Amino acid sequence: MTPGLSSPMPAIAAGATVLPADQILVLCYVATGGIVVMWVAFWFVVYKQDKESVSAVLLKPAFFRVVAVVGVVAAAAVLTLAGRLESTVTGAILSGTIGFVLGHLSSKQASAD
């Protein structure tokens, strides 16, 4: 425990439900399974299109942005549902992620005009 802090857990809002440890574990498995299914589908489409090689897809900056956004959203959702992040922090993380995506799209559109 950190000196000066009474609890390692963040304060839970009144009326909030915190998942028990076994449900947190199930939630982590479900989130991981969902991400794996999504990536398998993504690579299946890349393979079937035959327009670009796998290495070409991996080297694109857009690929890294997608990986970052998926990872941040999944982590924020699991940590919030597990009671490890407050809802205000989750809102800030998700709004920052949305701002990142929309900012990139608007700058891309402005450069095309």
35 inside domain: yes
Buried residues in 69-94 as b, exposed as e (16+ CB within 10 A):
ebeebbebbbbbbbbebbeeeeeebe
8 inside domain: no
Whole-angstrom distance, CA of residue 43 vs CA of residue 55: 12
Residue 110 burial (C-beta neighbours within 10 Å; 0-12, 13-18, 19+): exposed
> pLDDT digits over 56-106, tens only?
888 888 888 888 888 898 888 888 888 888 889 999 999 999 898 888 877
7 inside domain: no
16 inside domain: no
Confidence of residue 6 (pLDDT cuts 50, 70, 90): very low
11 inside domain: no
Total count of domains within the chain: 1
Closest CA to 34 of 71, 89, 60: 71
Does 34 score more than 80 pLDDT?
yes
Whole-angstrom distance, CA of residue 74 vs CA of residue 36: 12
Range of the domain at 103: 21-112
5 inside domain: no
10 inside domain: no
> pLDDT digits over 55-69, tens only?
888 888 888 888 888
Give the global pTM.
Answer: 0.64
9 inside domain: no
